[in-house]
Structure 1
Amino acid sequence: GLDIETSVRAGAPITTIVLNNGGMATYPGGYPTARESFGTTYMTGDYAKIAEGLGAVGITVTKPEEIASALEQAKQLNADGKTVLIDVHSNLEDRRSNF
């Protein structure tokens, strides 16, 4: 979140996109102990609200068809001098990319 706070304070608007699958930088099979003992696949933070607490505009996207309008809204808000965070909710998948 410090990039967002810095952007707001410096008046240098940016857009940050969080690809929010509800997990902690992993896929479900990756760290079974962390998943079972510490719930790393059940993260429920509201990143858009966190951004708002830092002085930015938070946008939450829950459906794929909302992405384009969120990006357009962020582009306009950046042009108006505002920092934006887009919290894109996605499914937690039980597999990882091969790339």
Structure 2
Amino acid sequence: MAYYSVLDVTPTSESWIPAYIAPANRLVAQYGGKYIARTSSHERLDGQGDTPALRIIIQWPSKQAAIDFMNDPEYLPHLKARTEGSVSNHYLIEGIDGLA
């Protein structure tokens, strides 16, 4: 079953970004992930609150793949840099329609 990481990220510093992209890309692919969207082109259709600078969606082949990516020792310093250099939220969503 597919799982999706949905992130909203607003950088507070951009110094971490150049060193983040290549390792994140490689590790996402290593764990079977696929970027569905990485964009600053988004708009709010409903609701309130701050609008993040970036929206990122990654499809994973399983929940375990997403968790293994997040816990990979090579990713951890990049995760730390992202969380220290941005306001970000990461949600892991099971790819089901529980209301169908």
Higher relative contact order (Cα pairs below 8 Å, separated by 6+ residues): 2
User: Highest Rg: 1 or 2?
Assistant: 1
Does TM, normalized by the shorter one, top 0.5?
no
Normalising by the residue count of structure 1, what TM-score does the alignment of the two structures yield?
0.32
More strand by proportion, 1 or 2?
2
